[in-house]
Structure 1
């Protein structure tokens, strides 16, 4: 998975412009990478994160999709 694929997953999971998604992870490093990519997408202005929670086996992301051309 990379940043672009994460954005595609968030678009599919969104209802209107709000998304709430729990993504399974294999290792702690996977979770840190997903959190880093979400932060980069937020800096680029494509999403606005309200919540990013690392759980034992997943990463929970909740936020708002901003305009992002496909």
Structure 2
């Protein structure tokens, strides 16, 4: 998964500008990679993360998508 795919998934799982997504992971490395991608998106100002919950086989993300020109 890359940053563009993650942002696309978040936009598809949104209502208005709020999103909630559960992303399946196969390994701990996947969880770490998702956290890195989320941090990059936050730094770029595309999203604001409210919570990130690591579950046994997935990562639950909840936050706000900031509107910008695509």
**1:3 and 2:39 are equivalent in the alignment:** no
Task: Extract structure 1 runs of 4+ deviating beyond 3 A.
Answer: none
Deviations 1:12-51 (A, max 9, x none): 0000000011100000000110011011100100000000
Residue segments in structure 1 that go unaligned for 5+ positions in a row: none
1:28 is matched with 28
Provide the rounded CA distance (Å) in 2 between the counterparts of 1:35 and 1:4: 14
TM-score, L = length of structure 1:
0.95
TM-score, L = length of structure 2:
0.95
Residue segments in structure 2 that go unaligned for 5+ positions in a row: none
Q: Between Structure 1 and Structure 2, how many residues are aligned?
A: 70
